[in-house]
Structure 1
Amino acid sequence: MLKLSLPIPLFLIVFLLKQICCNELTFELPDNAKECFHEKLKIGSKYTLEFQVVTGGNYDVDVELRSPSDKILFQVQKKQYDQIERTADEDGVYQFCFSNEFSTYTHKVIYIDWRVDGDPEHEISSANPRVAEGALTMIESKVGNIHRNLESCIDYQTHHRLREATGRARAEDLQERVQIWSIGQFILIIIVAIGTVLLLRSFFTDRRTPSSMTWHR
């Protein structure tokens, strides 16, 4: 039994790692800039692109997805969040670009999640011959469920962190604006107070003309 159970976890770990290719990235996109990423895919590969603008400006960005033949597969302007699910219909290098060229002074922080499922280069065609087919199927099913549940937990945690970062950025921006507004109001109150004092002093100041002084004499 020991000799039979040893190869199973190793095979399942390799199978799960090979089955799905996933890349997560958070990067800063300067103003008047465009950033592109490239990925080589096979026909039939299912890929998912999820993006979200975490901080910066109005939390929007232009996104464009092109096929190896330079065909536009997806294009959207000034979007904060979206998820794209497609199946590759041709071999080659796919390109997805993020553009902040419409912004003149605001930098953006963007999170992307790129997943590829069903790529023939990442699949295992045959099972381990030393493992019984029924046992492998049962264990694979259980481990696969655990793997999917863990992926769901990771996704929930990632989106929670993104929402937290976006909320923190909005709160800090609001706090900065409130501070600037408060300082402006304070300066305005000081100016009005000084102007009021000077105006009242001018009302009670005794101004005597030379003619009135001569008449009293």
Structure 2
Amino acid sequence: MNLLAIHFCIFVLLIDIIDSVELTFELPDNSKECFYQEVLKNRSAILEYQVITGGQYDVDVELLSPTKEIIYRQIKSQFDSHQFTAPKTGVYAACFSNEFSTFSHKLIYMDFSLTEEVNPLPGVDEHATVLTQMEQTAQEIHKSLNAILDYQTHHRLREAQGRKRGEDLNERVLWFSIIETSAMLIIAITTVIVLRSFFTEKRPSQMKYGRLDGR
């Protein structure tokens, strides 16, 4: 039982490494980044992405075939997913461009993976017998773990995006408060100076000179 569990975990890890490219990367301004995934003919794959932080949360996206044909293109997109079936075997490229931005860096999440499920228990399909309860349970656990990973990823993305927006809002409120406080202090000091000038008593020497001038 323990040996089967170890083999199961190793196999799932190998599937994740070989059949998917999932990462979060920073895309500087005036730059373009491409990521590559080998897909066999008639194999289904999906590209999913989301801009987490930066600018207006938008990016240009292109999905290219091995012959450099454009399979999918979006201009200034915030998030999307595109599923396709490979017409031929080769290396497909997912390119993200921030060339339209002159100062905003972008933080982008991308998942470029094959969508067809691989049997988590190698050799099971070779048997003509019905799956045992343990094998069925293992397959259900495998599907549930994949669903949990997807949910966790999306929740982490929303959390990171919300945290970044909260930090930006906090910074704006801080600077607005500093400017407002400074303006109030300047107005208060100016008001005090003006009022003091109205109620300041004249010195005797000033009054004497005033009488002489009156004569």
| Number of matched pairs | 209
Contact residue 37 and residue 112 of structure 2 kept, 8 A: no
Q: Could you say what secondary structure the match of 1:94 adopts? A: strand
Q: Where does the alignment leave 5 or more consecutive residues of structure 2 unmatched?
A: none
The residue number in structure 2 matching 1:188 is 183
The residue number in structure 1 matching 2:52 is 54
Using the alignment, how far apart are the partners of 2:190 and 2:15 within structure 1? 76
Q: Could you say what secondary structure the match of 2:19 adopts? A: strand
Following superposition, the deviation at residue 143 of structure 1 comes to: 2.4
Following superposition, the deviation at residue 132 of structure 1 comes to: 4.1
Question: Which protein, 1 or 2, shows the higher relative CO under an 8 Å CA cutoff with sep ≥ 6?
Answer: 1
Contact residue 37 and residue 97 of structure 1 kept, 8 A: yes
Deviations, residues 74-112 of structure 1 (Å, cap 9, x unaligned): 111222211111110122221111111122212111111
Using the alignment, how far apart are the partners of 1:8 and 1:183 within structure 2? 62
Output the aligned Cα RMSD.
Answer: 3.3
Following superposition, the deviation at residue 185 of structure 1 comes to: 0.4
Following superposition, the deviation at residue 52 of structure 1 comes to: 1.0
Identity of aligned residues (%): 45
Letter of the aligned partner of 1:201 in structure 2?
Answer: R
Using the alignment, how far apart are the partners of 1:215 and 1:7 within structure 2? 113
- The one of 185, 193, 202 equivalent to 1:198 is 193
Q: Which sits farther off after the overlay, 96-105 or 110-119?
A: 110-119
Using the alignment, how far apart are the partners of 1:216 and 1:12 within structure 2? 109
Following superposition, the deviation at residue 133 of structure 1 comes to: 2.4
The residue number in structure 1 matching 2:89 is 91
Contact residue 44 and residue 118 of structure 1 kept, 8 A: no
Runs of 4+ in 1 over 6 A off after TM superposition: 5-15
Following superposition, the deviation at residue 202 of structure 1 comes to: 2.6
Using the alignment, how far apart are the partners of 1:43 and 1:132 within structure 2? 27
The residue number in structure 1 matching 2:145 is 150
Letter of the aligned partner of 2:162 in structure 1?
Answer: G
